């Protein structure tokens, strides 16, 4: 195959195996004299983060709730991202479905520069989310676009 100067071609490649989600570098080598190379970064699969809500300690009535957001990197490569919680929406409802906590994310925009955090492949980044004290009972915390956690506040 001959390429004229400035010519562009698009090729599709089907791999015979499943790749783990992550970021890969694809390198194309043309057999020429001298050999020519082209490379690109390819992101495969969902992710890179799966979020979960976790309680760092048992929830007790009258005490701040130790809720945290856990970001698990499911990619086969390290990922650098801004994982601050400003601008995120957390809603907590009691057993009857009444909203008892809403952080109003439109009032909590990120007002500072980006703060990149690197999380290794398979790694976990846990960020505390302070929640005011709640009464005894069962609650459901909802992180919009992500996780749901049902938990009990004990006396």
* The CATH number of the domain covering residues in 49-154: 2.60.40.2360
Domain definitions of the chain by residue range: 49-154
Q: What is the pLDDT of residues 46-93, one digit of tens each?
A: 678 888 999 989 999 999 999 999 999 988 888 888 888 877 888 999
Helix (H, G, I), strand (E, B) or coil at 45: coil
CA 155 → CA 3, 9, 34, 62, 129, distances in Å?
A: 75, 67, 75, 8, 21
**Contacts with 14 (C-beta within 8 Å, 6 or more apart), sequence order:** none
Q: For residue 105, what pLDDT band results from cuts at 50, 70 and 90?
A: low
**Are residues 48 and 123 in contact, defined by beta-carbon separation less than 8 angstroms?**
no
Token pair for residue 132? 């005011």
Q: What is the pLDDT of residues 35-44, one digit of tens each?
A: 777 777 777 7
Q: What is the pLDDT of residues 1-31, one digit of tens each?
A: 666 788 877 767 777 777 777 777 878 777 7
């Amino acid at each position: 195959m001959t390429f004229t100067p400035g010519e562009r071609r698009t090729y599709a490649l089907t791999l015979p195996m499943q790749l783990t989600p992550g970021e890969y570098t694809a390198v194309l080598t043309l057999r020429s004299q001298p050999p020519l190379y082209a490379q690109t970064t390819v992101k495969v699969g969902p992710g890179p983060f799966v979020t979960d809500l976790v309680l760092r300690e048992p929830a007790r009535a009258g005490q701040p709730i130790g809720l945290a957001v856990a970001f698990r990197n499911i990619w086969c490569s390290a990922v650098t991202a801004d994982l601050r919680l400003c601008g995120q929406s957390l809603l907590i409802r009691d057993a009857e479905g009444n909203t008892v906590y809403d952080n109003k994310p439109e009032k909590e925009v990120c007002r500072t520069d980006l703060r990149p955090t690197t999380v290794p492949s398979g790694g976990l980044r846990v960020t505390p989310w302070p929640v005011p004290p709640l009464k005894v009972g069962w609650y459901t915390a909802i992180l919009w676009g992500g996780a749901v956690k049902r938990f009990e506040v004990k006396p």
